Structure 1
């Protein structure tokens, strides 16, 4: 499922449950020494996904630790992202020469637990858009999809900036049929290749009780932003 949201230059691995054969390196063991069993299982299995994906790239096996704000620290020359939720774990990786940044996220496809969260997640322009989406395809929980998409946006943003991005600092528009979305940054975007990116584009999928989203930043993303600057 995850590979449907990624470009061909990326490797995605997913599991719909925890892996009995998954293992942790000593450094990773220390990172979750005080964690509850559920958190430890998620941490372990998602790293098993990441190691399998990294092996496909030809990367040497090793621990995958967390750096600033919990972002994974990938091997030299590799970019990646991991996600886990109830019943699902996934990782996506690529050579930095092919992909500049990536963010993936998965959530249970269900309504937000607290409807009041919608004000925390959205900017005013997104609220009528969500109502329009619900009218067109009422079978999809669009607020949860928007939450997941903003998580993917942040995961792609952070490695490029090292900065926090609030939910209110990006405005999303979603195509309900094509499975794509666009995030317009409401703060100065990251400068990549000498070009300031005005936003990100992503993809989404709802299947098997899950909503899964992805954002990838490539040289084509930079070229598109450069062409827009020259107009």
Structure 2
């Protein structure tokens, strides 16, 4: 599996549940030999493992790559006190990282109201339905929690797979329904897919016409 494989998969997923728009994607391999410097925004007064620092920094590098993919200047993507990435005006996006990979995706906020991405390492046996569902819930959490103003736990989200095409329909809490106008009036759509050793889930909610 290569970074190109992951980019192609994400572009395919956007086509399945999204609409025509600009998409920026950044993919970085997490190198276990890289230095793991202190990161003030991550440590926050308690010890964080070197592995966690490497994953965090690779995720920020992937976000800068995604901006460059859109033809924008590379820049550090900061985050809120809740850990939500702060994207440049006019963009929405999401960052996810696993032990070996960090991925970021950015889309046009005029088209997409919210976005959530999650990646998980697959076991050697390959496809794993519980992990696929966990990945779906994490992506829903990332997409919807910042918009609603409440930090939901992923277990609060329900998802059911529709047929063999790996599209899911989420069951949306009343709180999210009450925030439809704030999130663009769109209904979130979720797709999951996998390639060797990696499970991916993507959630997009497009603004209503």
Output the TM-score relative to the length of structure 1: 0.71
Coordinate RMSD, CA, aligned: 3.1
* Residue deviations 1:57-93 (CA, integer Å, cap 9, x gap): 2334332222142111112221110000121110000
Structure 2 unaligned regions, length at least 5: 1-5
User: Aligned residue for 1:80?
Assistant: 93
After TM superposition, the structure 1 stretch with the greater mean CA deviation from structure 2, 208-217 or 30-39, is: 30-39
Structure 1 unaligned regions, length at least 5: 112-137, 224-231
Cα distance change on mapping 1:186 and 1:95 into 2, 3 Å:
closer
Output the TM-score relative to the length of structure 2: 0.77
Displacement, 1:46? 1.2
Displacement, 1:200? 2.6
User: Aligned residue for 1:89?
Assistant: 102
3-state SS of 2:127 partner: coil
Displacement, 1:14? 1.8
User: Aligned residue for 1:64?
Assistant: 77
* Residue deviations 1:191-224 (CA, integer Å, cap 9, x gap): 23378969632111111111100001112xx35x
Is the 1:79–1:100 Cα contact (8 Å) retained in structure 2? yes
Aligned partners of 1:194 and 1:104: how far apart in 2? Answer: 20
Q: Within 5 Å, which residues of 2 pair with 1:1-231?
A: 1=6, 2-6=10-14, 7=18, 8-9=20-21, 10-18=23-31, 29-32=39-42, 35-110=48-123, 140-190=127-177, 191-193=179-181, 200-219=188-207, 222=208
Cα distance change on mapping 1:48 and 1:75 into 2, 3 Å:
same
3-state SS of 2:105 partner: strand
3-state SS of 2:190 partner: strand
Aligned partners of 2:206 and 2:152: how far apart in 1? Answer: 20
Query: Higher Cα Rg: structure 1 or 2?
Result: 1
- The structure that is helix-richer by fraction is 1
Cα distance change on mapping 1:37 and 1:195 into 2, 3 Å:
closer
Displacement, 1:165? 2.0
Aligned partners of 1:49 and 1:55: how far apart in 2? Answer: 10
Is the 2:66–2:105 Cα contact (8 Å) retained in structure 1? yes
Cα distance change on mapping 1:59 and 1:29 into 2, 3 Å:
farther
Count of aligned positions: 192
After TM superposition, the structure 1 stretch with the greater mean CA deviation from structure 2, 12-21 or 102-111, is: 12-21
